[in-house]
A and B are shown apart, each in its own frame.
Chain A
Amino acid sequence: MADPKLGVYICSDCGIGGALDIEALENIAKNQYRVENVQSVPFLCSQEGTQMIKDEINNQGVNKIVIAACSPRVHYDEFDFDPSKYVTERVNLREHVVWSQMGGAEEAPEAAAEAPAAAAAAAAPVEAEPAAPAVNEFTQEMAEDHLRMGIVRAQKSEPPEPAIMDVEKTVLVIGGGATGLNTALESAKAGYKVILTEKEAELGGWARKMYKILPDKAPFEDVKAPNIDEKIAAVQAHENITVLTGANIDRIEGMPGQYDATISQNGSANTHRIGSVVLAIGWKPYDAKKLDNLGYGEFKNVVTNVEMESMAVAGSGSIARPSDGKQAKRVAFLQCAGQRDPEHLPYCSSVCCMTSLKQALYVTESDADANAFIIYKDMRTPGLYENFYKAAQNNPGVMLTKGEVTSITEDGTGNIVLEIDNTILGEKVRVEADMLVLATGMVTNMLPEGVEKVTDMTPEYIGQWKETETQDGIIKEVIADPVALNLAYRQGPELPYLKYGFPDSHFVCFPYETRRTGIYTAGAVRAPMTALQSANDGVGAALKAIQSVELAAQGKAVHPRSGDESFPEINFTNCTQCRRCTVECPFGVLDEEENGTPKTNTSRCRRCGTCMGACPQRIISFKNYSVGMIADQMKAIKVPEEDSKPRIIALICENDAYPALDIAGLNRIKTNPFYRFITMRCLGGTNLVWIADALSAGIEGFLLIGCRFDDDYQCHFIKGSKAANERLGKVQETLSRLMLESERVQQVQLAMNEWDQLPKIMNDFADQLKEFGPNPFKGF
C-alpha cells in the first residue's frame, strides 16, 4: 500500500464522552503515536461523522483508520472502507469499556466492585478542567490502553492481497447411488461440469436393488416402484456429466479449484483436473453374524432386511422363505437388531422402522391372509413419514407392538418362535412366524474392511498410529487407512470421522462443514438417512462444492471467515521443520516437504491462524494478523507500578467471547476494569511467546476466553480452542523459568449466551492473581 498514514477517530457519544477524558485519548494518539489526523466528534456514525473520515481519506491520504467508538458488530456499513485499500481497526470503547464499567456494584462480586470505587475517590481528577465530568480513572486507563492497542494493530496491519488463482470448476462426485446421482444432476443443472464415479459396473447403488421404495412425495403414505432408472437416464443424458463406472479414486492431490484426481477404470488410470469433491459412497449393512441370540446364521428362516429386499425382488413381492421355499405368510420383524445397542451400533439407523413398514406391505399385499408382526422399541417415523406409519396401522394385516424379545427359537418345521416381554398387548406374548426379518442397521462405507466395531476405533481417523521424530520431540498421530478419497495430504488420505465412523459435521448450524475444504460428504456415508433424505442432502453438498471453487477463484475463504482474503505466509528461511503447523492445522491445509518444511495450499485454508499460534519460530503471518502484531499490542499496554492496578490480558475469540462481552456491555453488566482485551480469530492462534514476553513486562496474568472444546466442541475451527489449551500445558516450563505461578495463565470455555457469567469469571481469575501477589517483573 501507499505510505501508511493513520487517522484516529474517536466518538464521544453513547456515553463515551461522559465517561472518558476524550482529550487525553486524543493526546495519546497525537503525542505517543505521532498521529496527525486525530478527530473526536459526537455521533461519529452519523453521515457528517463518516463523511469527515472519508474526506480525510480522500484529501489527506489517510489509509489506516482507527475507529474508537462502538462495537463493529453494531455499525458496520458506516465504517466499511474498501478493505483492499485501507486498514480499518475498531476500538470498542462503548461496549467493552464504557458500558461494561457503568453497571452498579450489585452486578459485580465485591472484589472488583470495591477497587474501582476506592481508586476513583483517590484519583479525583485534580488535573482535569474543573468543568470536566468525573472520569473513573480505571475506565480511562482501560480506554487508553485499548486505543493504544488499536493504533498499534492498525500500524502493523496491511490490506490483504487475495491469492487469486485459475480454477477448474468441475465437481467430482464419488458414488453413483441415490445421493451421488442427484448431486451430479443438480450440479450439472446449475451449469457446472461433473465427473461421477461409481465403483460398481452400474449406477444406482442400493436404490436399484429395491423391490419398492419408501414414499417420497406428499402425502407420504404409499410405497412405490423404484424410480432410480429415470434419474440414471437423466444423468447419462446430461451433457455436463461424465460418468465413470467400475472406477476407483487412486489419488487426489492439490486444493479447491486445483485438484488432480487420478481415477482408475478397467486397469488404466487417468488424471483429471477438478475443482471440488462430493463424497457420496453410502452405507453397508451391519454384519448380522455379530448379533448374538437373534438366530441369524443359526436358523435358516432368520434373515436381514437387506436379504428380505432381495427376496422380494426375486419373488416379485412374494416371499419364499429360505428353508423350504414356502411362501412366508406370517413374518415377524425385529427392530433395532444391533442398533441402539452399545455392543453393536449405539446409534439409531433412522430408516429401519420405515423399511420394516415397507416390507410388511410386501407380506400383506402378496396374500390376503398374510400377517406381518413388527416388534419395536420406539416407532420412529418422524415428520410427514408419520402418514406412512398410520397407513400401516390401518392395515389389518400388520400388527405392531413395542416389546423386548426374550427368546428366539426354531420349531421342527423351520418356523421361528419369539417370546416377547413388556408389550402393549399384554405382559408376555408368544409369536410363531414363518420367518423373522432382522431390521439391521447401516454402517458408513468410510469404515475400512476389517474394522469390527464402530465404538472402538482410533481417535479422529480410522487408521494407524504413526510416530515422527523431530528435533522437538516425537509427534504421535493417527493416519487414516485409505478407503475412498486417497488424498495426498500430509494429515492422511481420508476425512476425519465424527462418531461411529461417520465423517459428519459437528455443527447444528453448518451441517456441511468438513475438515477438508472443498470436500463435502452427502447421504448415508455421513449419517443414516433415507434415499429421499440422501438425494436432498446431495443438493446442498453440490452447492458447497460449487461455492468452494467460486470462492477459491477470488482468493477468498469459505465459512466461517467467509470472504476473508488474507492468508498465512511463511518465512521459510527460519523454519526448523518442527512440523507443529502441519500437525496442528485443523483442516489439513499444510503439506510437508520431505524434510518437514510446510507447503501451503491457500484455497484449503480457513484463516484461523492455528498454524501461526503453533509456530515457535513466529514465521507464519497474515498481512493483517501476526505474532509480532499482537506482541506489539501487548507491549502497548501501560503497566502502572501500583499494585492496586493489576493488568490482565484477555485473549478473546472473535466469534463467541467478543460478542458475549458486547452483550454484557449492552446490558450494562459491570466487569473487572483491569482486563485488556485482544481479539483473536480463534484461540488456536495463541502463540506462547506472548506469554513469556508479557509476563516479563509486568502483566499479571493471561485469561484465554474461547469456545468449548472436546466432545461437544463449539470452536468454529474445530480444534483451535483445544490446540490453545494443549499449548498452555507446555507454558508451565516457561513460567517456572520465570519463577511465576503456572495458574497465571488460564483458559476458560465460554458459550456466547453465557455473558452473564463474565463478571464472575473475570473477577475469580483476578482474585486468584491477587493471591499470588504482584508480578515480580513489574517495574523492570
Chain B
Amino acid sequence: MADKVLIVGGGISGISAAVEAAEAGLEAVIIEKNPYLGGRVAQLHKYFPKLCPPYCGLEINFKRIKQNPMISFYTLAEVTNISGSEGDYNVTVRVNPRYVNEKCTACNDCVEQCGASRPNEFNYGMDSTRAVYLPHEMSFPLRHVVDKSACDAGCQKCVEACKYGAIDMSMEPQTVEVNASSIVFATGWNPYDASKIENINFATSQNVITNVMMERLAAPNGPTKGKLLRPSDGKEVKNVAFVQCAGSRDENNLDYCSAICCMASLKQATYIRDSYPEDSKATIFYIDLRAAGKYEDFLQRLQADENVTMTKGKVAKIEEAASGDVTVTVEDILGGGKIEATFDMVVLAAGMEPAAKGANIPASLTYEANGFIDADNLPAGISACGVARRPDDVSASVQDATGAALRALQSRAGVNKPLEAAEMSGGN
C-alpha cells in the first residue's frame, strides 16, 4: 500500500493539491486529460483583480513539480477504473498516445513540415494549428503532440523532419495501474455552451463571443496576437457589450450563479479600455454586480471610468447585422422599458459547468443537482476540490485544493483515526 494521493485533473486546483500534498510529505500523481498541465487558467490572459498573468503562478507551480521527486504526472490520461477503499485504492489509468516521446526538444522543425491542420481548441477554435503542434508556449511538459485524427493518411513528414527521433506514430494507448491511499477529484469546468441560450444567436453570430474566447483574443499568444479584432472582419473592437448571466441564474440553463463572471467581465472591460484608451467603450448588462470582499475595489475602479457603463438589465435578444455590428435588446430593470443598442462585438459572460457532469467518472461519487461533486457525501479517502465541487474563482479553488491536500494526508497509513473524528470526515 502506497502513501500516495492520486489527483484527477491537472488544472490549477489539481496542480495545487499535488504540490501542497507533496511538500507536506505525501507522494502525488496527477492524471490530466490534456497534453499539458494548467487547465483552464493556462487559457486566461490575466487574473482579476491584479491583472497579473496566470503563467506567472503556473511557472512557480511547474517549478515546484520539477524539483520535487514526490510528484509525477500523466498527460493525455484518463481514469478508467477505481477499486478499493481508503488507504488502498487501485486506479486504472489509460494514457493516450502523444505520438511524440521524451526526445522532443520543442525545436518546432516538425511543425514547419506539417501540411495538415486542425482547429485549435486552446484558442476555442478561433484559429488552427498543424496536426503536429506545441499546445502553447507555457505548455508543461514543453513537448509537441500529434493529433493523429488530423493527419493526412500515411504522411510521415513530421517523422522525417525530426532529427531526434521524437515522433513515433506507432504509439499505442498504455494502461497504468496506480495504488493510492486517497483520490482527489479536481476535474474543473467547461464553459457553458452558449448556443443553448435562446434568442442570442451565438452559433450564427461571429461577433458574439464568450468570455473565455475573449481571454484568447486578448492574449499575446492568442489568435490575434493580443490585438482586439473582431472575428468577422478584423475590425478593431472599440465598443463592446458584456452580457452577464449568459446561462447562469437562468432556470432554462444554469440554475446557479457561476461566481466569477462579473469579475471576469470587469477585467475584460480593462482589456478593451487598455487596448484603445482614447475611444473605447464597454457596456455591462447585469442582474447584480457580484464583486465580493475586496473585489469591490476593482468594481469601484471600473465604475470610475466614464467609458465603462453598467446597466442593470436582462438581455432579451442579440442580433448580428450584415455589417457585423451586433444589436442587443435589454429589459431595463430600473428604468423600465427596453433598451436597444448596437456594438462592435458582444461578449457573453457564459457560466461554468462542472466537467465531471456526464464524464462517466468510474467512482461512486455523489453529485448535487447541477452536477457538481457533493463533497459532503463521498467515500472515505475521496475528496473533491475547486470548481469540481462548486463554482468559484482561482483563489478560492486553490484554497480548497490546499484543504484537499490535508485530507489526503489524513488517509495515510498509520494515521490514528478516532471514531468521532472519522464520522465527521468529508467536506465542510
Contacts A189-B421, A508-B50; is A532 near B297 (CB within 8 Å)?
A: no
- Whether B369 and A218, one on each chain, are in contact in the complex, defined by CB atoms closer than 8 angstroms, is yes
One of A76, A237, A551 near B418 (C-beta < 8 A):
A237
A239 close to B (CB within 8 Å): yes
Residue of A nearest to B53 (CB): A753
Q: Chain A contacts of B258 at CB under 8 A?
A: 383
In the complex, whether A563 has a CB less than 8 A from a CB of chain B is: yes
Asked if residues B300 and A346 are in contact (CB atoms below 8 Å), the reply is yes
Q: In the bound complex, do residue A383 and residue B406 qualify as a contact, i.e. CB atoms below 8 Å apart?
A: no
Binds B, one of A286-294, A457-465, A554-562, A608-616: A554-562
With A and B bound together, what is the CA distance between A753 and B225 in angstroms? 12
Known contacts A508-B394, A536-B428; 4 further A-B pairs (Cβ under 8 A): A382-B290, A390-B255, A532-B428, A540-B400
**CB pairs A–B below 8 angstroms (20 shown):** A186-B410, A189-B410, A218-B369, A219-B369, A237-B418, A238-B418, A346-B297, A378-B290, A384-B368, A384-B391, A402-B334, A499-B294, A508-B398, A529-B293, A543-B24, A559-B60, A560-B60, A666-B106, A712-B51, A751-B56
Chain B CB count within 10 A is highest, among A185, A380, A383, A533, for A383
- Report A-chain residues with C-beta under 8 Å of the C-beta of B163: 13, 43
Within 8 A of B (CB), among A711-768: 712, 714, 716, 751-756
Instruction: Verify B23–A558 contact, CB threshold 8 A.
Output: yes
Known: A348-B291, A382-B257, A753-B219. A562 touches B59 (CB 8 A): no
Residues of A within 8 A of B312 (CB): 402
CA distance A533 to B390 in the complex (A): 12
Question: Using an 8 Å CB-CB cutoff, how does the interface string of A376-402 with B read, 1 for contact, 0 for none?
Answer: 001111111111001000000000001
Given contacts A189-B421, A558-B23, contact A752 B59 (CB under 8 A): yes
Do A550 and B415 have beta carbons less than 8 Å apart? no
Cross-chain contact B403 with A508 (CB below 8 angstroms):
no
Question: What 3 pairs across the A-B complex have the smallest Cβ distances?
Answer: A509-B57, A540-B402, A539-B403
Please determine whether A74 and B142 come into contact, CB atoms closer than 8 angstroms: yes
Among A73, A233, A511, A527, find the residue whose CB has the most chain B CB atoms closer than 10 A: A511
Q: Which of A234, A350, A384, A714 contacts B421 (CB 8 A)?
A: A234
Interface size class of B (residues with CB under 8 A): 35 or more
A45 to B61, CA, bound (A): 23
Give chain A residues whose Cβ lies under 8 Å from the Cβ of B68.
562-563
Does A89 belong to the interface (CB within 8 Å)? no
Interface size on A, residues (CB 8 A): 106
Any B CB within 8 A of the CB of A106: no
Q: Which residues of A contact B376 (CB under 8 A)?
A: 217-218
Question: Are B368 and A550 within 8 A (Cβ)?
Answer: no
CB of B398 within 8 A of CB of A378, answer no
Q: Which residue of A lies closest to B103 (CB)?
A: A46
Cα–Cα, bound, A547→B297 (Å):
33
- Main secondary structure on chain A at its contact with chain B? loop
For the complex, give the distance between the alpha carbons of A511 and B291 in Å. 18
Chain B contacts for A384, CB-based, 8 A: 256, 368, 370, 372, 390-391
Residue among A379, A535, A714, A752 with the highest chain B CB neighbour number at 10 A: A752
B333 at interface by CB-CB < 8 Å: yes
Q: Which residue of A339, A347, A512 is within 8 Å of B297 (Cβ)?
A: A347
Q: Does B395 contact A (CB under 8 A)?
A: yes
B358 to chain A, nearest CB (A): 18
- 8 A Cβ contacts from B18-62 to A: 19-21, 23-25, 45-47, 50-62
Residues of A with Cβ closer than 8 Å to B? 13-15, 43, 45-46, 70, 73-77, 182, 185-191, 216-219, 230-231, 233-234, 237-240, 339-340, 346-350, 378-387, 390, 402, 422-424, 499-500, 502, 504-512, 527-529, 532-533, 535-537, 539-544, 546-547, 550-551, 558-560, 562-563, 655-656, 659, 663, 666-667, 707-708, 712, 714, 716, 751-756
Chain B contact residues: over half helix, strand or loop, or mixed? loop
Whether A537 pairs with B399 at a CB distance below 8 angstroms is: yes
B143: nearest chain-A partner, CB-CB: A74
| Interchain CB contact under 8 A, B391 and A512 | no
A185 cross-chain contacts in B, Cβ below 8 A: 421, 424
B296 at the interface (CB under 8 A from A): yes
Most buried by B among A348, A390, A500, A546: A348
Q: Is B149 an interface residue (CB 8 A)?
A: no
Query: Which residue from A190, A348, A708 sits with its C-beta under 8 Å from B293?
Result: A348
Interface residues, chain B, CB within 8 Å of chain A?
12, 16, 19-21, 23-25, 45-47, 50-64, 66-68, 103, 105-107, 137-138, 142, 163-164, 219-220, 225-226, 249, 255-259, 288-297, 300, 312, 333-334, 368-370, 372, 374, 376, 390-392, 394-396, 398-403, 405-407, 409-410, 412, 414-418, 420-422, 424-425, 427-428
Q: Do the beta carbons of A656 and B59 come within 8 Å of each other?
A: yes
A190 to B421, CA, bound (A): 10
With a cutoff of 8 Å between Cβ atoms, the chain B residues found around residue A509 in the complex are 12, 16, 47, 54, 56-58, 60-61, 394-395, 398
Give every chain B residue within 8 A of A217 (Cβ-Cβ): 374, 376
Query: Among B103, B293, B399, B424, which residue has its beta carbon within 8 angstroms of that of A234?
Result: B424
Partner of A382, one of B16, B23, B62, B292: B292
Select A544's contact among B107, B225, B402, beta carbons within 8 Å.
Answer: B402
Could you tell me if A540 and B294 are in contact, using CB atoms closer than 8 angstroms?
A: no
Which residues of the other chain, A, contact B66 by a CB distance below 8 angstroms?
Answer: 76-77
Contact A550 B296 (CB under 8 A): no
A residues less than 8 Å from B50 (CB atoms) = 506, 508, 712, 714
CB distance from B410 to the nearest CB of A (A): 5
A43, A217, A349, A542 interface centre (most CB from chain B within 10 Å): A217
**Chain B CB within 10 Å, residue with most, of A189, A422, A527, A541:** A189
Q: How far is the CA of A528 from the CA of B399 in the complex (A)?
A: 15
Q: What residues on A are CB-neighbors of B64 within 8 Å?
A: 559-560, 562-563
**By the criterion CB–CB under 8 Å, are A383 and B220 in contact?**
no
